[in-house]
Every structure is written in C-alpha cells, then in structure tokens.
Amino acid sequence: MFIDTHCHLDFPPFMFDMPQTLANAQQAKVKALIVPTISAAHFDRVIDLANQHIAIYAALGLHPIYQHQQHDIDKLEDQLKQQHHRVIAIGEIGLDRWVSMPTIEEQAIFFYAQLALAKKYQLPVILHSRRAHDLLYTALKEARLPQVGVIHGFSGSFEQAMQFIRLGYFIGVGGTITYPRANKTRQAIAKLPLTSLVLETDAPDMPLFGYQGQINRPENIVQIFETLCQLRNEPKETICDQIRLNSKTLFPLLFSS
C-alpha cells in the first residue's frame, strides 16, 4: 500500500477524469493521496475533491512562485478556522530562488505568514525549496513548528537533507531518483535514515526517467518505490512498511477522518 504525499489532482488532466484517475491509483495500491494547493483560487476546489473522494486529503497553501495578496493569507486562515476534517496540512509553501518574480523578499512575507498559521493551527507543512535550502533551513529552525513537515521533491545533497532531518523534518522522495545522472540526490537518498523518507509523485509534474515530456501520474509511485528499493540495503517489505508509517507520523490526521 502506498501513500502519495504530494500530487496535484486539481490540475488537468486529472480534474477532467477523476474516476479513472483514482481507479488507476487504486489498482497500483495507492491508498491515499494528498493534494496541496498553489493559490487561494484552488482552496475550494481541493477541499471539494477531498470531501467527495475518500482517498484524497487536502493541504492548503500559497506556492512561492505565484503572486499573492494579503487577503489570500486571510482566506487561508478563514479556511483553517473552519477545521475541515479533510484538510491535514498547510502547503505547498516555501522559497524559490530559481524565479526572479516574485522576489525572494516578497516570497518570504507569505512564507513566514504561513509558518505562523502552521504553528497556530498545529498542522504540518509541505515545503517547496529550490535553490533555497539555506534560507528554508534558517526559517524552519527559528519557527520551531509543533508538527514539522516535509521537504517536497528533494534534490539536494546528503548534508542538506540531514540538516532538515535533525530538525525533525521528512524528505520527499520523488521521480528525481529515477534519473541515473542525479548522482548527488540518489546517493543522499541511499544513505538517509529510512525513518525520515516519504514517497510522492508531484503529478502531473516531475516525470520519471524515460517518460520526459509525458504527464506524470500517481500510479507512477510504484516505479519510484522500486527505484528506492534498488538504492537501499533494507528488504523491500521493511522499506514499504516504514515509508507508510512515516507518512502517518508526518500527517497525524491521515486516516483519522
């Protein structure tokens, strides 16, 4: 049984064929899927998906590479106040130096505001970090969140990952490890504590090696898992059981609703 801790089912093509999307996931033994938002405009859509489908759980957040307004933070808190039983995290939030706009300073305003909400409502965070691990680490160290979170789509070094793990954070393992040239990340994932890893697809983005240019799908988590098993020394059953336990530890509300 797998848990896809990060997939955007509110994006095309999934939103136009949800029954088949979920049937494909179920056939691949994907028991649960967490869908984070990128903007306030997606809040209602993702909450509706989670309310309509038992396998889907929602995360609400403002993605760093998009433009947001202060009232979007207000909308986020309004949703959190309602304590939707299917909303289990705040995300996708973070910092991104790859883009020039919004500036990193503008991103930081919304990032810190959302960390404050995570602390206030005691929810874990789903974190986007691109060329910003140092800034993210400093922010998380200062925030001291009660429910920590996951570094989504991790593609850094062993040392960078261990910094986050020492703070109690989990590392999101996705399609990057299927690329033979991603030596730094593959070597890191091979050595990191198994107790700190969770699986994700980031569907429809982050296509696996050999599928470049194609739509990524939640059922591809099986191939990510198989690659992880090739990189690790533990038995496959041990990896599967521990990854599932990690997901439930990271997201305490998973399966409790």
Q: Please indicate if the annotation marks 200 as binding a ligand.
A: no
Q: Please indicate if the annotation marks 152 as binding a ligand.
A: yes
Residues 6+ apart with CB under 8 A from 115: 93, 125, 139, 140, 143, 145
Residues in the chain: 257
CA distance 222 to 163: 28
Q: Please indicate if the annotation marks 10 as binding a ligand.
A: no
Q: Say if CB 74 and CB 80 are below 8 A apart.
A: no
Question: Both tokens of residue 24?
Answer: 């494909």
Instruction: For 197-215, give one letter per residue: b (16+ CB within 10 A) or e.
Output: bbbbbbbbebbbeeeeeee
Q: Please indicate if the annotation marks 6 as binding a ligand.
A: yes
The DSSP bridge partners found for residue 59 are 36, 89
The candidate with the shortest Cα–Cα distance to 188, out of 221, 197, 226, 135, is 197
Residue that is written with structure tokens 């909303």 in the block: 87
What residues are designated binding site? 6, 8, 92, 128, 152, 202
Enumerate the known binding-site residues for a divalent metal cation: 6, 8, 92, 128, 152, 202
